[in-house]
Amino acid sequence: MKHKKILLLLLFLTLGIPILSKFATASGWTYSGVHFDVGAQVTSPTGITWDGTNFWVVGYDTDEVYKYTSAGVYTGTSFDVGAQDTSPTGITWDGTNFWVVGYDTDEVYKYTSAGVYTGTSFDVGAQESLPKGITWDGTYFWVIGRASDEVYKYTSAGVYTGINFDAGTETYTPAGITWDGTYFWVLERNRVYKHYSNGTFTGTLFWAGNQDSNQRGIIWDGTYFWVVGQQLAVVYQYQYTSDEPEDIINWVLVGIIALIIVSATGGLATSYYLVKRQKKQKRVRKEQEIMLMKQKMKEEATVKEINMLIRTGDIELSKGNFSSALQKFNRSFKIADENRKLVSIILLNDIESKIKLAKDKLHIEIENKIKISIKNGEKFESENKFEEALKSYRAALENVNDLPKSKERGQIIKNLKSKIDNVYSIKIGESKDRAEELKNLGKPYNAIESYKMAIKEAENMYYPSQRNKEIEDINYYINQTYVDMLEPNIDKAHKLRDEFKYDGAIKNYNEAMQIALNLTDKNLKSKKVRDIRRYINEVKVAIIKSTILALGTKFGRLEVKEVAEECGEDEELIVKTVKEMIEGNEIYAKYFDSSRAVAFNLQANIDEIDSLMDKYKQWEKEEKDKI
């Protein structure tokens, strides 16, 4: 008998105490009667935070966060989070920025105080696949989830610290969490549980189910708790009164459980395995529930997205934004077509009808824009406002590209390109006329710049035959201008050469060469460059011969480098010229390759100097006659 009592006592401790903890002391927090409605903005609120001045409520169905005054009056301010996650749940304020929990993506996203996404987020999916709520304790973030019933601790940079605490012993479906500066308070639909800073349950809680049976978010404002009721879309205020038992029925239930335990005769082992089996069954049921819930939420999100796209498409259509409306309808049809089991054939047909209507209206709008742009272009062209005309014609051409392909569309494109090319032809003619005026004013370089401007205009033409013809004609005028510039330099160089002013002659030949190098006609350029190089070479040879004749009567022997130093010409050209002079009996001398030196017969050169000079002059005359 004694052993049986001990056994029953142990059994009670095993099962009774955990059950007692489920019916812990109420904390004394009760509904104050104060609340504010958010239903005009959102029908499914899921989170709330306090920035020290205002409340911010998350709309699960709208993907928006709405701002309310401390009195619960909507300010008209909100910010969108749908680009990051289409199922936002929780939100917190760290004193500078907002952090929003994404239920679909398992991410927490950072927004500025103005609601602008910063591009920063951190992933919680490795710890929790169904994140619901978040709070900030001044140093760390704490995220609670429905899949694990755990609360996870993250650094301010969003790095998981490896620390977490279990909220599942008290709560079956955790929905939110907040920090009051000392304790964590975990919301479970209609109850709020108090935890120490290390996560241990304090044994106290308060009831929040009388106002709304589906509470979804909680925040502490420094004085009161505010709990979001999703069922009625209302936020309720809870104030502190005094500690009192939560419900006497709970204690009656505890007594009944104790009696059941006492009457049990299966022993401690039987109770232990019974509890273990029940926990396993509960876990399996919960996993199945979560799986079904995830699938349902995914399907609901898909249907929600389709309906949202249709609604926004209708709005855009009513505003006359046909292109935007068409994009929305096309997107909604694509999603609906991929998820036919979730939508009716009637809805698909309805979307197709909306797509056709948007297309028809868009095409009419585009055709009207094209007509207006062409009319404006023709008006500007008649007023010689060619840049404005081109802008109008190009705008019409861009709009034509948005029309469906057809024979009529092709003809419109052809006509517009012809109009654009015609405007360029007029502009090219003006540039050519301006170039001719500049040439007549003695400003050939300015004229060439005007011709080059005309080429740039021609390069913008659409049709190759007309474009190439214009460019060919302009290049002819450019080359003719360069020829008109270089011929006077050549004539002047010839005159200086005839006057034995070789330095001046070479200078003018070089100037002519610089001009010739700019010619665009390859054949003409090649001929002019070749001729000028020959002229320059002939002058250099004349300089060398004159130097050799002068030195040949003074020195019996000269090295090539000495001649080069005297006349400043290339040594190889000097060697070649010396050999030709010796071979042509222009000088009496002998050239030695080994020493690169010339040995002169001084007396013969002196005796024949007049004859040699006559020969030199005759050579120069013959070279001039070749030119």
Q: What's residue 170's pLDDT?
A: 66
Cα–Cα distance between 590 and 600 in angstroms, integer? 7
Q: What's residue 411's pLDDT?
A: 92
Who contacts 13 (Cβ-Cβ below 8 Å, separation ≥6)?
none
Q: Is the pLDDT of residue 19 over 80?
A: no
CA angle in degrees (0–180, nearest 5) for 206-210-214: 90
Residues 171, 316: one domain?
A: no
Residues 242, 318: one domain?
A: no
Q: What is the pLDDT of residues 438-458, one digit of tens each?
A: 999 999 999 999 999 999 999
The H or E element that residue 104 is part of is: none
Cα–Cα distance between 444 and 478 in angstroms, integer? 10
Q: Which of 339, 368, 397 is the last residue of a domain?
A: 368
Does residue 460 belong to any structural domain of this protein?
A: no
| Residue 410 backbone class (left: φ over 0; alpha: ψ -120 to 50; beta: rest) | alpha
Q: What's residue 246's pLDDT?
A: 44
Q: Is the pLDDT of residue 615 over 60?
A: no
CB distance 376 to 392 below 8 Å: yes
Residues 162, 96: one domain?
A: yes
Q: Which of 210, 225, 246 is the last residue of a domain?
A: 246
Which position has the higher pLDDT, 616 or 347?
347
CB distance 70 to 55 below 8 Å: yes
CATH of the domain at 604: 1.10.10.10
Specify the pairing of strand 234-240 against strand 225-229.
antiparallel
Q: Which DSSP category does 586 fall into?
A: S
CB distance 492 to 476 below 8 Å: no
Above pLDDT 90, what percent of the chain? 62
Locate tokens 């998350």: which residue? 58
Cα–Cα distance between 412 and 374 in angstroms, integer? 10
Residues 237, 319: one domain?
A: no
Cα–Cα distance between 268 and 450 in angstroms, integer? 106
Read off the pLDDT of each residue in 68-91 and give the average, rounded to a whole number: 95
Question: What SS3 class is residue 284?
Answer: helix
Q: Is the pLDDT of residue 255 over 80?
A: no
For the record, the structure tokens of 22 come out as: 């489920």
Domain that holds residue 589: 544-626
Considering only 137-151, 289-303, 322-336, 375-389, which range has the smallest mean pLDDT?
A: 289-303
Read off the pLDDT of each residue in 421-437 and give the average, rounded to a whole number: 93
Residues 64, 197: one domain?
A: yes
Residues 122, 239: one domain?
A: yes
Q: What's residue 272's pLDDT?
A: 57
Residues 35, 145: one domain?
A: yes
Count helices and strands (H / E) in the chain. Answer: 15, 24
pLDDT confidence tier of residue 248, bands split at 50, 70 and 90: very low
Residues 197, 342: one domain?
A: no
Q: Is the pLDDT of residue 245 over 50?
A: no
Q: Is the pLDDT of residue 288 over 60?
A: yes
Residues 104, 234: one domain?
A: yes
Who contacts 290 (Cβ-Cβ below 8 Å, separation ≥6)?
130, 146, 147
Q: What's residue 401's pLDDT?
A: 85
Among residues 98, 93, 96, 54, which one has the least CA distance to residue 77?
54
Q: Is the pLDDT of residue 89 over 70?
A: yes
pLDDT confidence tier of residue 13, bands split at 50, 70 and 90: very low
Q: What's residue 183's pLDDT?
A: 96
Residues 230, 316: one domain?
A: no
For the record, the structure tokens of 203 come out as: 């044994």
Q: What's residue 290's pLDDT?
A: 73
> How many structural domains does the chain have?
3
Q: Is the pLDDT of residue 578 over 80?
A: yes
pTM: 0.45
**Phi first, then psi: what are they for 377, rounded to 5°?**
-60, -45
Cα–Cα distance between 564 and 575 in angstroms, integer? 10
On the CB side of 486, CA atoms within 13 Å amount to: 23
Does residue 422 belong to any structural domain of this protein?
A: no
Cα–Cα distance between 105 and 110 in angstroms, integer? 14
On the CB side of 417, CA atoms within 13 Å amount to: 15
Q: What is the pLDDT of residues 397-415, one digit of tens each?
A: 999 988 888 888 899 999 9
**Phi first, then psi: what are they for 48, rounded to 5°?**
-150, 145
Does residue 424 belong to any structural domain of this protein?
A: no
Q: Is the pLDDT of residue 20 over 50?
A: no
Q: What's residue 276's pLDDT?
A: 63
Q: What's residue 212's pLDDT?
A: 87
CATH of the domain at 44: 2.120.10.30
Does residue 60 belong to any structural domain of this protein?
A: yes
